[in-house]
Every structure is written in structure tokens, then in C-alpha cells.
Amino acid sequence: MSEQTTATDKATQESLISIHRWTDKLLTFRTTRSADYRFTPGQFARLGLLINGEMVWRAYSITSAEAEDQLEYYAIVVPGGLFTSALNQLQPGDPVWVEKLSYGFMTPDRFADGEDFWMLATGTGLGPYISILQQREVWQQFRHLILVHCVRHEEELTYQEKFETLRAEAAAQNLPAQLQLIRMTTRDDGAAQPDRLQGRITSALREGRLERAAGLAITTASSRLMVCGNPDMITEVREILKERGLGPCRRAGGGQFITEDYW
């Protein structure tokens, strides 16, 4: 039995629709979507490519809206990476396999309460929030939506027009939440860019700069947080939040933050 035949037991064969290249390493790509495929904003899919006669699978957060008839993903091309090197060479119409199940528990419905929803991301960890912010319910569930995106260089601050569009659409629909975008760079000179913070999320969190930038305090009563990106960053953010009395969300309920490692 071929790798391709075996894949159809757990996945559907879709087609690449388009690739948008933000930089030489960052890209957004879209595929067709099976009518039966279901996911909740914040979840990820497992995608397969047939490479040198073998099926290779990787997980990618879904960035498209829940009801769209296409699936969108945000990826970084890893130098020498087997999957992303092949992905980078795909052309529209080429096959991409999508597992029939979606995965992950980083979804806003896990928060039973809270008023301020903080979304912290490094690099392509931004992915799940792109889908989450297209979910009408999240604009109704919280008072403030604070998206923090930290990258090395300004050119990596992607999806900015998308977030501005979502903010304008929410205002036009009189949805109650307000969206704040906090952009951070670690290697560019932030002194010349008043609309950006300089440094890492962890240092800005420890020093209180994130809260000052947002004009909101992170508290156990009002704040709910998602953290997605570099595993080292996530480990440190967990420690900081625990020091301040916040705890991870449990399946049984309770807690103030959810984390997901994502490079």
C-alpha cells in the first residue's frame, strides 16, 4: 500500500490555492477545505506532503475564520527543514493532505470569566490569534483584547492590515470589545519607533512595560491570557504569571492562562 493511499484513511487530499510571502522566510498559504472539516478558532491542523515517496506530517495553527471555505496557515521556512523546504516550492494546484481531525485546547471558550483577554505571541505563534480574532464571540466575551506580537525585525510584524480591518469591522458592528495591538521587536532600534516596544515579552512583562503600554493591569480577577510561541519564552512567562498568583487553565475549570509551544 502506498504512502498516498494510507494517508487518505486519516486525511483528505486538498489543493494548494495560494502562497503569500511576507519575507524570504515567512509565508501564508491557503488550501481547499473539505466540507466535513471542523475546527475551533485557536486549534491546529496536521498537514501532510509527499516528499521523496514518503508522507511527512507537520502541525500548523489554522489562521482562517471558522466558517471560511478555505483553510489558511502561517509558517516559517526553516533552513534545511524537510517539510518547509518542500512547502516553499509548491505551486497552486499541488496536493496537500489535511488530517480529518483538528487538535489543541488553546480556545477562548476555556475561559469561563474575565474581562481582559491578553494574547502573547512570538514569531509565527501569532497564528491562532488570527483565527480567534475573526470569531465574533470573542469580541462579545471580553472588554479588552490585547494582542502582543514580538519578533526580531519590523518586517516580521505581519498581518497588521488584517488586524486593523477586524478592529474597524467590530466597531461598525458595535461589538463591545476594544482591540489593542502591542508590537515588539528585539533587534531593531525601538527608540526611533514610538509605536513599538523594544525587547522581549518576558522582560517587558517583568518590568511592567506591557501593562503600561496597554493601560491595563494583569490581575487574577480580570485577566485571561494565552501565550504561544518560543518554548523558552513560554516557560518564563508561566513562571512570571505564577509568581503573580495566576494559574494555568485546567480541564475541570479555573485558571487564568493557557500556553502552547509554537516556533
Which CATH number characterizes residue 166's domain?
3.40.50.80
Q: Dihedrals φ, ψ of 246, to 5°?
A: -90, 150
48 and 169 both lie in a single domain: no
pTM (global) more than 0.85: yes
What pLDDT is recorded for position 2? Answer: 52
What pLDDT is recorded for position 154? Answer: 94
What pLDDT is recorded for position 254? Answer: 86
Per-10-residue mean pLDDT, the chain, length 263: 62 98 97 97 98 96 97 96 96 98 95 96 97 97 98 96 96 96 87 78 97 97 97 97 96 88 69
95 and 112 both lie in a single domain: no
What gap in Å lies between CA 39 and CA 100, rounded to an integer?
Answer: 10
How many domains are there within the chain? 2
What gap in Å lies between CA 131 and CA 65, rounded to an integer?
Answer: 5
174 and 235 both lie in a single domain: yes
Tell me the pairing of strands 95-99 and 178-185: unpaired
122 and 200 both lie in a single domain: yes
Which CATH number characterizes residue 39's domain?
2.40.30.10
What gap in Å lies between CA 59 and CA 98, rounded to an integer?
Answer: 10
78 and 194 both lie in a single domain: no
What pLDDT is recorded for position 192? Answer: 53
91: domain range? Answer: 3-99
Residue for grid cell 488584517: 162
What pLDDT is recorded for position 155? Answer: 96
122 and 213 both lie in a single domain: yes
89 and 125 both lie in a single domain: no
What pLDDT is recorded for position 194? Answer: 67
113 and 209 both lie in a single domain: yes
What pLDDT is recorded for position 251? Answer: 77
Q: Which of 72, 99, 126 delimits the end of a domain?
A: 99
Burial of 9 (0-12, 13-18, 19+ CB in 10 A): exposed
What pLDDT is recorded for position 253? Answer: 75
Please check whether residue 227 is in contact with residue 237, taking contact to mean a CB–CB distance below 8 angstroms: yes
Q: Which of 61, 80, 99 delimits the end of a domain?
A: 99
What gap in Å lies between CA 4 and CA 24, rounded to an integer?
Answer: 30
116 and 92 both lie in a single domain: no
Cβ neighbours of residue 43 closer than 8 Å, sequence gap 6 or more: 61, 62, 102, 103, 104, 106, 107, 128
Q: Which of 82, 99, 116 delimits the end of a domain?
A: 99
131 and 162 both lie in a single domain: yes
What pLDDT is recorded for position 243? Answer: 97
40 and 120 both lie in a single domain: no
80 and 135 both lie in a single domain: no
